[in-house]
Structures are given as C-alpha cells and as structure tokens.
Structure 1
C-alpha cells in the first residue's frame, strides 16, 4: 500500500529539519501552501494541490531532482525538490509541488 501524500500529512512537520539522502545537507520545511482545487481537477483527483516550501543553506545548492527527505526522528519521503529563485544571500529556498 502506498501512502497518499497530502498537505495535512506535512502540517505537523513545519519547522522540522529533514536530512537529504545521499548528500550532507539538511532542509527545513517552512510552509505547506494550499491551492484551491479547480472544478476540472476535482473530476480527476480527490487530493487538493499543495506546495511544500523548504529552506536550506546558501552555500550548498541542491540540484533539482528526486530526493529522499528524512524527517528528524520521523518518516522518510521521496520528493521531487526544485530550487527556487531566492533573493536572500542567507539561505536557498526549495519547493516540492503536488498538482
């Protein structure tokens, strides 16, 4: 059985650190952003779309790709992580989008 990833599943992880598998890097989940479902989307899926926002160090940018993120003391998730334009020089932002 495969666990369906939903926004509610990640709500409890906001502010938590995730270790990125295969590299010496951690990301912090900063927000779970929900988007209202369009009528046509409701016809093909029951899961409302959402985006996970992460923050990482500015000096080690993680390339876009499928990554295993393990919550501190918790479960691991395979997520497609994308670095986003980050105006700050103090950190790098990332997102995982679920349409």
Structure 2
C-alpha cells in the first residue's frame, strides 16, 4: 500500500531516488528538499502546505505534467511536477501540496483521490 503523501512522509525520504514516468519521459529524480509553509495571518488555518523539490539530469527534460512516481518505500503514486530551474546539466522540479490536515491525499491503487 502506498504511503500517505504528507510533509512528514516525504521528509523521511529526503536524499533518496524517485522514478518518474510520463509517456516517453522517464528518469530518476533525487528528492533534495521538503519545505513546509506556515499559514499567514489572512490564510485559513488547519491546512497542510508544503513543497517537495527534486533534482534530475539535464536529459531527459521533464515537461510540466502528472507523472507516475515510484519509490522503494513510498510505493507508487501520481505527482504533478513543474520544472522550475535548470540547464543542460541538471533540472530542478517542484510539486506543491495544499490540503486540510484532517484530509491528507488518499492514495488507492496508485491514484490520488
């Protein structure tokens, strides 16, 4: 069964490899950073807000999209990745999470519900 997609869970696996696949695009990515965000004074409380950052090779470049991710401990799940920086040597990707803490994204059969 896939692990919950929470800041705490991703933090446990910082520094490990994740495999990303979308159609012809496929590569291994390193989870380099997990960054939590505090609610501002005008924002709703009770929300889980965080980003996960991955580093990957310069080739293949992964365009923005929903990727099938796999990890030896977290299992398989889908993740919307956005390229945020890079050059011919390496690219950096980000996935943003924003949900009520009482309702973490459920993963069933590799699909986020």
* Structure richer in strand, relative to its length: 2
Task: Identify which of structures 1 and 2 has the higher relative contact order when contacts are C-alpha pairs closer than 8 Å and 6+ apart.
Answer: 2
Whether the 8 Å contact between 1:69 and 1:77 is mirrored in structure 2 is yes
CA RMSD of aligned residues (A): 1.9
Count of residue correspondences: 93
Aligned residue number for residue 9 of structure 1:
9
1:10 and 1:16 map into 2 onto residues whose CA distance is 10
Which structure 1 residue ranges, 4+ long, deviate > 4 Å from structure 2? none
Gaps of 5+ in 1: none
* Distance 1:77-1:47 versus aligned 2 partners, 3 A rule: farther
- Deviation string 1:2-50 (CA, Å, 9 cap, x unpaired) is x7522101011111111113433111110101111234321xxx33210
| Superposition TM-score, scaled by structure 2 size | 0.71
Whether the 8 Å contact between 1:64 and 1:80 is mirrored in structure 2 is yes
